Amino acid sequence: MAEELYFIKTNPTIAKINLYNKLCREEKNVLNFLSEDKKTSFEMIKTKIKDSVENLTKEELLQIFSWFSNEYKTDREEVKTQLFINGIDLFYEIPSSVDVVNFQQILADYENYSKQKLNYLVDAQHFNQFLIYGIFYTGIKNQDKNISVDILKQDYKNLYSFAENQFSSNGKIFENEGLVLNIYNYFTDLYDLTKYYKGSIIKLHG
């Protein structure tokens, strides 16, 4: 987990049983991936998971990721499968550090516009508003080819106008058509995967 950006849905009920029991069974291994005062950290993580896995901090979840990644390091897909079995659904990732930087810049623009910080844990409805902005921003360059932009802008005219203004000011970073297509695809993929989801989304930067 270097510079990737991970998007996660959780199932607190499953985590409360499966992940909690796995932690208890494999305490010795888990301790190797925890920071200072390992025993206290371990007990705190267990307590949080017993309540809800969404109570974990970014640092605690990264430590759990490191543990799983090491345990199943020969098979990337198995890491995802085992996380899912334990109540953590890593449903999407952006692997390129360049794309992550551009994604985060678009996020910062949206946060300034909305006056709302999209933290590590964010409500799916607010996350989707950001994704729509991202689709607009990255879809403007090839608007004639992007059906998603035409459909969405009918319902989000103000957001589209802001995206147009931002693109006029900052769009030079997307002069590379391959780059803008990558980012656009990330936004449309994420939108399709979350538009009907009612829970929280975790945005984890490795």
Task: Give the pLDDT confidence of 43-79 residue by residue, as tens digits.
Answer: 999 999 999 999 999 999 999 999 999 999 889 899 9
Least confident of 13-17, 57-61, 140-144: 140-144
Instruction: Please name which of 7, 107, 21, 126 lies closest in space to residue 61, comparing C-alpha atoms.
Output: 7
Indicate the Cα dihedral angle 75, 178, 97, 173, nearest 10°: -170
Instruction: Give the per-residue pLDDT at 150.
Output: 77
In a domain, 186, yes or no: yes
Domain that holds residue 178: 97-198
Single out the residue in 63, 94, 125 at which a domain terminates.
94
Instruction: Give the per-residue pLDDT at 1.
Output: 45
- Same domain? For 103 and 84 the reply is no
In this structure, how many other beta carbons lie within 10 angstroms of the beta carbon of residue 97? Answer: 11
In a domain, 205, yes or no: no
- Same domain? For 103 and 90 the reply is no
Model confidence at 12: pLDDT above 70: yes
In a domain, 204, yes or no: no
Q: What is the mean pLDDT of residues 8-27?
A: 97
pLDDT band at residue 172 using 50, 70 and 90 as cut-offs: low
In a domain, 181, yes or no: yes
Residues whose CB falls within 8 Å of the CB of residue 86, separated by 6 or more in sequence, listed in order = 14, 15, 18, 19, 22
In a domain, 203, yes or no: no
Coil, strand or helix at 94: strand
Q: Which H or E run includes 74?
A: none
- Same domain? For 87 and 106 the reply is no
- Same domain? For 59 and 147 the reply is no
- Same domain? For 76 and 103 the reply is no
- Same domain? For 61 and 87 the reply is yes
Instruction: Give the per-residue pLDDT at 175.
Output: 63
Single out the residue in 53, 71, 94 at which a domain terminates.
94
- Same domain? For 118 and 192 the reply is yes
pLDDT band at residue 3 using 50, 70 and 90 as cut-offs: confident
Single out the residue in 94, 112, 134 at which a domain terminates.
94
In this structure, how many other beta carbons lie within 10 angstroms of the beta carbon of residue 161? Answer: 12
pLDDT averaged over the chain? 90
| Better-scored residue on pLDDT, 174 or 160 | 160
Domain count along the chain: 2
